[in-house]
Amino acid sequence: MLSPRSLARYAWISVAAALATIGLKVWAWWVTGSVGLLSDAIESLVNLAAALVALWMLALAERPPDEAHAHGYSKAEYFSSGFEGAMILLAAGAIIWTAAPRLVAPAALEQVGFGLAISILASLVNLGVSRLLLRAARQHRSITLEADARHLMTDVWTSAGVVLGVVLVTLTGWQRLDPLIAIAVGGNILWTGYTLLRRSALGLLDPSLDLARLGAIHGVLDRFRAQGIGFHALRTREAAGRSFVSVHVLVPGDWTVQAGHDLLERIEGEIRSAVPGCSVITHLEPLEDPLSLADEALDRNTD
C-alpha cells in the first residue's frame, strides 16, 4: 500500500484537473451565456476546494502515531470525504439557485457549438482523472481519493446534463429547458453528497471490517481451531485505510510462555497475510480457567 505521501500525488492531479476545467467552463459560459454552463463552472470551483482539502488531509493522515494519537491520524481522511460531501451539496444548491431566475427570464444562447466543444473537453479531463482516482482509491483503500473521484464524476454527469440541455434548447428553441435541466442535474447530485456525508460519519464510529475481510480472518482462526486452539472476543475496526484486529487465544494452561508466544506470532502473521496492512493484537488465556470466558462481552467495564 502506498503511503499517504505517495497518495498525495493523486490529489495534486485532481487540483490540476480542477484548475483546467474551471478555465474551460468559464470560457464556455462566457461565449454562450448558458446558465447551465455557468452552473457547471461553479461546481468545478467546489472541486478545486475539495481537492485542496484532500491534499491537506492526506498530509495529516501521513503523520506517524505519537503519544497523543497512538493509532495514528488516518481518520483525518474521513474529514476530507465529509467535506467533499458537503461541497457537493453546496454545489447542488448553487446550481439550483443560479438556474432558477432563468425560468422566469429565459435568455437566448450564443455560439452554442463552440461552447459545447469546450465543455465536452473539460468533461473528458474530469472523466479521466476520476477513473484514475477511483482505481487508486480501491487499490489503497483511501476514502479521500474515493470521495474526490466520485465528486469529479458528479461534475461529469452535471456537464452531460448541461450539454443535453443546450442541445435541446438549440433544437427546440425552448429556452427554459436550459435552466430546467440545470436544476434537475443539481437535484440528482444531492444524493452523491448525502452518501459521502453518511459514509464519513459512519467511518468515524469505528465500523467493523467488511464481510470479505472478516471471512478471511475467520478462515485463519478455523485452521488453528482444527489444531485444538480456542478463540473468542474477536473485534475488528476500520479507520480509513487502516484495519485493526484483536482476538483472545485460548491454549492449555500447562503450555510454556515460549510455546504460547510462538503460537501468537504465527496467528498474527497469518491474519496480517489474510488482511494486508492490518494491525493485530492477541491476548493469551488458559483453556481450563473459567475466568478466561468472563471477558467475551464487548465492554469489560462492568464493575
**pLDDT tens, 261-280?**
999 999 999 999 999 878 89
Q: Give yes or no for residue 302 having a pLDDT over 50.
A: no
Minimum mean pLDDT among 12-16, 167-171, 213-217: which range? 167-171
Burial category of 168 from C-beta neighbours within 10 Å (exposed 0-12, middle 13-18, buried 19 and up): middle
Minimum mean pLDDT among 145-149, 160-164, 299-303: which range? 299-303
| Domains parsed from the chain with CATH numbers | 4-203 (1.20.1510.10), 211-293 (3.30.70.1350)
Q: Which residues, including other chains, have CB under 8 Å from residue 217's CB and lie 6 or more apart?
A: 209, 234, 236, 245, 271, 274, 275
pLDDT at position 282? 94
For the segment 148-168, the average pLDDT, to the nearest whole number, is 75
For the segment 1-18, the average pLDDT, to the nearest whole number, is 70
Question: How many Å apart are CA 4 and CA 1, to the nearest integer?
Answer: 9
Locate the DSSP E strands across the chain: 230-239, 242-251, 278-286
Question: What angle do helix axes 143-172 and 177-203 make, rounded to 10 degrees?
Answer: 170
The pLDDT > 90 percentage for the chain reads: 19
For the segment 190-211, the average pLDDT, to the nearest whole number, is 78
In this prediction, residue 2 has a pLDDT band, given cuts at 50, 70 and 90, of very low
pLDDT at position 39? 65
More confident residue, 197 or 42: 197
In this prediction, residue 5 has a pLDDT band, given cuts at 50, 70 and 90, of very low
Q: Give yes or no for residue 88 having a pLDDT over 60.
A: yes
Cell numbers found for residue 170: 438549440
pLDDT at position 1? 44
Q: Give yes or no for residue 26 having a pLDDT over 70.
A: yes
Cell numbers found for residue 277: 496492512
pLDDT tens string 205-259:
778 888 999 999 999 999 999 998 999 889 998 876 678 899 999 999 999 999 9
Pick the closest to residue 203 from 20, 61, 29 (CA basis): 61
Q: How far is CA 134 from CA 147, 153, 199, 252, 291, in A?
A: 9, 10, 16, 48, 48
In whole angstroms, how large is the CA radius of gyration of the chain?
26
Q: Mapping DSSP to helix (H, G, I), strand (E, B) and coil, where does residue 65 land? A: coil
pLDDT tens string 55-66:
777 777 777 777
Cell numbers found for residue 290: 473459567
For the segment 124-131, the average pLDDT, to the nearest whole number, is 87
For the segment 66-79, the average pLDDT, to the nearest whole number, is 74
